Structures are given as C-alpha cells and as structure tokens.
Chain A
C-alpha cells in the first residue's frame, strides 16, 4: 500500500510584513518575536502538531535566514518526523523556468509536487501572520461532514474593520454564496481568517487552472476562491469563536502582546492542554534584584531586572539596570536598558542597547504613538527618542 498523509499543511511564511517597519528589516514576519519567548510561527506550528497534523510545508521567500534557522529540523514542535515533518519550501529553479513566488496561490502551486508526494486527501493552507490557538482537526472534521470542496475559517469582526478583510456572505448552514475581497460596503462581518481546508484534488485542479490564466494575480482571496465559487464548487465557512489576532501592524503586535497580561488574560499561553511549543533559549531562571519591581508583566528566562518593569513583556536575557523603568512596552531578547533609562510605550527589538538616562517614548495615552527601535541598534546615554519614532540605525547623542 502506498503511504499517504490524510492532510498536509502548507504554511505561507514568505511575507515581508512591511507595516512592521524595522522589526522585519532582517526577518520574515512569521519569525517576529512575540510573547516574551515565542515567534509568530510557533502558533500555527503548535496548532498543527496539537491537531495531529505532522506534515507541514513552510513556504519562505523574504529574508528566510532567521526563520529557517529557527525552524531547523522542526524538533521543538515534534515535527522532526521520519515520514512527514516540517519542510522549508523556498522558490527554486527548474529546467524550463524559475520564478519567485508571485502570490499566495502561486506559492502553493509551485509546490504541487511536494503535496503530491504525500498523496493527501486534504490540504490545509495557513498563514504565518496570526496569533491564535485553533484545533484544525475540528475544522477538518467539519469539512468532511459538510462534504465541502473548500472550507474557510471565519471570525466575526467589528463592522468598522470588516473592509480590511475578505468577507464571506453565507447561508444559515454556513455555505458561502458570495465572497467579497476587502469590500467598501461589507454585507456581513464574517471575515476570512486566511485558513483554508481544500479537498486536495479540487485544489490541484484550480491551482493548475489559475496558473494557466494570464489575467490572474495568483492570489487565493482574489482569484482561486472566487473561481471555485463561480464554478459552483461547494464552499463552507467554519466559525471560529476564540482569540485571533492579525499582528501585521505595530499597534496590533503591541496589543496582542498586552493581551497576554492580567489575571484573566484575553489570550492564555499557559494552557497545558494546548501547549505552544517553541525553540527555547538556553538561559538560567530570571533574577529580580533587590531594587527590582515587576508588576503585571511577563518575563522570559535569563532576564536580570534591577529596575522597574510594569505592564510589559520582556524576552529572554533582557537586562534592566537599577533606576531604569520599562512601562507599557515590549522588549525583545538580549536587549539592555541601562541605569536610569526610561522606556515607555515602545517596541524594542532584539540586541538593542539603551544608554544611561536615555528617554524612549512617552507615557501611553489615547493619542500617543509607539516607538520602534530596530534590531541591534544602540541609543547613546541621555538621548531622547520622541513618541512614534521608528529607528533602524544607532541613535547618537
């Protein structure tokens, strides 16, 4: 009997995430750090393994080095399988052509041979831009129960935001009768989450047709899904009620981090029944010093805190010296906040050094804007960085 996998997941991880500014200068968006010890891609990868899907193709294109290094052989997610496991799929050169991934559909199309290797019944298409916990197995079951050719995960969004999404107009039983990509006047608030289950044969057929269509922009939302609907394929929505956050902007990334805080957090990463796996830093427990004050915060291993940390998320090995204050901020791994420096309402990337008595950002209020300091930069002693500034280079006195 030929070996096969019932379901293969294809994770679109090639996006640049240009709205994250300096945070994605050197790393692809799915590799952006989140929640003190995680990277965004930990969530879809953990969802896969927790849902029993152990074959995942990760499609990379933009700045793949850190992402590839992070995924490695997939062992942290238990995805180092003998048959299946995680595979990095980068654009490649073939005998007759070679091309970059041109759109979401084209990226999957170029890896038809990868999916076919596992002879799957179903293909799960995911994106590496969201923070959420979801049981894909339940979605797959719904797909089988309705006998759909394509099932799209959907969530209710506020009407004011609906025009940013692909909106699904559905019958009471969930069957989709209309699909509107980023409509100006949305008819419903049911938004596509960019998570699709396809019956594999149908997917392959429509991808091949899409590739042959010179007028297609090779995008799932704009081309493939409407084509399937127009051809009368059975398409269903799958309602998702839990926490789901697109972290494509600085503000939403900051908010999603803050959603982890509080006694009853909006998003809980400590749920042992749905563990979020990640590549763990090698570091001793964090040390809170004699002068340390840590309130309503999440702190990763290896931190040394002798200053004040409030309403903040600190990645591994961050140092906050005596007299320094970090408030309403996200500080990523290995950064150093020197004595008497003050960081408010900011996102500080990895390996940043903030000099003594420097002042970064302003007190958070409704009109304040978030400061972003890019990877590895140094802020000189005593420098002031005003609200909303985004830097990639060292900031001199």
Chain B
C-alpha cells in the first residue's frame, strides 16, 4: 500500500509535563509498556499506513533517541529513497532553534521542498495509540481539506498546553481554543497533536508566517485563519493514552494490564521497536507472578504483582514488586519491597530496601540510581 504522505515527528514537544522522565532523554524516547519507547507507536502507525519517509525533529537530549532509532531498520525505515531522516537543529538566517513549532517547521522547509509526496503527517510524541493514518488521509482527501486535526473525546487531565476544537456537523472546525479553563473532570474534543496537511500548502503557510513575523503556528495561523482555511477534525475513537504527567504515564502503563487495552494496542502484533536480542525471560522455582507484563531478558525469583517489567530486569529471591514500573536492566535485590514505584533504567535496589509511593503519586527513581 503506497501512501502519498511523509511523516514528521516532533520528538521534544510537551516535555515540560514530565520533567523527571525527560531529564536525560526526549519525550519520544521515554520507555513505555515494557519494551517500547513512546515514538514506536507513532512510527509504527506511520509504517503500517504505508508511509516510508519519516523526518524526525529533535532539538535537545536526543542521544537516547538516536540510540533507539539507529538506521531505522527495525521499523523497516532503512531505505534508499526516504526512510528515517533525522532532523537535528539547523539554523540559517533568522531561524531560531525550535523553541516554537513554527520555528521548527520553518527549519523543516528544505526537507519538505525536496520531497514530492502530497501530504505531510505531523505528530508529537505525547500520546500512545494505534491509529490507522491511512484512514485519516482518506478522510482528509474526501473532505478536500487543507488541514485535518485528529481529536479524541475525553478528559483534559493535567496538562496546561492543550487545544480544544469545536466542529460543526460536517466536522469542519469552527473554533480553536488554546488551553481554556475547564471544570475538573469535564470532557471535550481534545486535539491530540497529530495533523494531516498538504505539503505544498504547509510550505506556503510557513513562508507566509516567516515574512509576516508570526510566532505561533496555532495562534497566528490556525486560529486567525480559521474561516479561510478548510480545517477538519478526525475523531479518533480508539484507545488513547495521553502522557501529560508522570501520574498519567503511570496510569496508562498500568492500563496495559487490562486485556482489552492490550488487544486494542497490540492486537495486530504490529508495533515495531528496537530489537535487542535478549534471551526469553526466565521464571525460577520461587517466582510468583500475577497480573504483570514481563519483557524478554528478565530473570524472576521473587514476587511480581500488577507490575510492568522492562527488558533485562532481575528480581531477587524474596523480593516483592507491586504496582510498579521497572525499567530496563534494573536489579531488585533479595527481600527488597517496592510498591507504586517507577524505577528508570539501570537502577539497582539493594537487598532488603523498602520503597513506596501511591498510585496518584508514584515514587520515581532516576536513571542509574544505586540504592
């Protein structure tokens, strides 16, 4: 299935929502769901929709992202024409370094000019979902839209930087609001930071904004020109996990323990990720594992309940891990006890230590900590 679209992924947007998790990495490379990084979902959605050229915008802390992505071969994106193209900061004339989306798009012009696909799929990495982008593009074509913005109906959550859309019965967007005040728990059509836009049209918009000295893509372009632009929304009704706080990160990871969520996200077994050639996980005679996701390379001798173990985690004899997210290559010592904890990569918890948080405020232990 060939799609006349290229993808552009913004790997650093919304990092202010999860400062702990992005201290030494990008939003895109936050580990998720036992063996993935958040970007795997966006990349897999693109690849599964026939997109074979993806530009990856990075502005800072992108070493872990490059390490994860490599040549792109694990996503079948190591290609002669297109493939995965890393777009680190690049500046000429008065371009600034990606501090706003418009600046980022501005420096993307060269990349966009050189391609000849009709559409561009722009997406951030603050959401986890399985979305058929080909269907979004088909809808975009059918409506003859300039821009199609993907929305999801739900609660706003904790984020400060969200966009609400109001559309008419034809799905034409009539109003765009930036972070309006909403009552606690109120639901709305939230823009989930993915849009389809005609490539040439995007180039024209960006050129135009540069010459007019605009600074905000949403404020100066989308909102001000809402009547002249044909902006449509695409309502995504599937499972969507917005990662807009550490608590949301924890909550959505834990949702993967439900079969319905797993089936929806992984049912077709087509979420790609970096291959590490770990051995299969090993459960010893003393292992007791209940309602947990366990990745390859784990060695379990203790108790694991309602938890997610990333690749290469070792849980010692007598250790108890409950309601926790244990990232790659952690070592949990004998008789240690963890409850509602997120341990980042390469953490070592020594024997008999006890640590705990609560579901709404999980205790986060930074990368490489030795306790």
Contact = CB atoms under 8 A, between A and B. Distances in A.
B60 interface: no
Interface string A268-279: 011000011110
B174 interface: no
Among B265, B266, B279, B295, the one with the most A-chain Cβ atoms within 10 Å of its Cβ is B279
B143 to A, nearest CB: 33
Interface residues of A, number: 37
Interface stretch (B158-166, B186-194, B267-275): B267-275
Contacts of B266: 283-284
A346 interface: no
Nearest to A37: B280
Nearest to A277: B277
A231 to B, nearest CB: 44
B208 to A, nearest CB: 43
Contact of B292 (A35, A287, A301): A287
B293 interface: yes
Interface residues of B, number: 40
Nearest to A310: B285
Nearest to B306: A290
Contacts of B308: 285
Given A269-B280, A301-B280, 6 more contacts: A36-B280, A287-B292, A288-B294, A290-B290, A292-B291, A297-B283
Contacts of B256: 284
Contacts of B281: 286, 298-300
Contact of A284 (B35, B299, B301): B35
A286 B294 contact: yes
A370 B283 CA distance: 23
A285 B285 contact: no
Choose among A285, A286, A290, A293 the residue with the greatest number of B CB atoms under 10 Å from its CB: A285
A283 B277 contact: no
A158 interface: no
B294 A285 contact: yes
24 contacts: A35-B280, A37-B280, A76-B275, A269-B279, A270-B297, A270-B299, A278-B277, A280-B277, A283-B266, A284-B33, A284-B256, A284-B265, A285-B294, A287-B262, A287-B292, A287-B293, A288-B294, A292-B289, A294-B289, A296-B283, A296-B284, A299-B280, A300-B296, A301-B35
Contact of A300 (B280, B287, B290): B280
Contact of A301 (B259, B285, B296, B301): B296
A242 interface: no
Contacts of A304: 259
A76 B304 CA distance: 32
Interface in A234-293: 261, 263, 269-270, 275-278, 280-290, 292-293
Interface string B69-91: 00001000000000000000000
B131 to A, nearest CB: 17
A295 B285 contact: yes
B257 interface: yes
Contact of B296 (A35, A37, A277): A37
A295 B287 contact: yes
**Which of A275, A277, A287, A300 has the most chain B CB within a 10 Å cutoff?**
A287
Task: Classify the secondary structure of A's interface with B.
Answer: loop
Given A285-B308, A285-B309, A299 B293 contact: no
Interface of A: 35-37, 75-76, 261, 263, 269-270, 275-278, 280-290, 292-302, 304, 317
Interface of B: 33-35, 73, 256-257, 259, 262, 265-266, 269-272, 275, 277-285, 287-297, 299, 301, 304, 308-309
B302 to A, nearest CB: 13
A123 to B, nearest CB: 28
A296 B285 contact: yes
Nearest to B281: A299
A37 B272 CA distance: 17
Most chain B CB atoms below 10 A, which of A37, A75, A288, A298? A288
Closest 10 CB pairs of A and B: A285-B34, A36-B280, A270-B279, A285-B295, A285-B293, A284-B266, A288-B289, A294-B283, A269-B279, A300-B280
Contact of A282 (B271, B283, B284): B271
Contacts of B299: 270
A290 B304 CA distance: 11
A36 B277 CA distance: 13
A275 B293 contact: no
Contacts of B265: 284
Contacts of A261: 282
Given A277-B277, A299-B283, A288 B290 contact: yes
Nearest to A261: B282
A299 B298 CA distance: 10
A111 B266 CA distance: 44
Most chain A Cβ neighbours within 10 Å, of B280, B293, B295, B304: B280
A282 B293 contact: no
A36 B280 CA distance: 7
Contacts of B269: 281-284, 302, 317
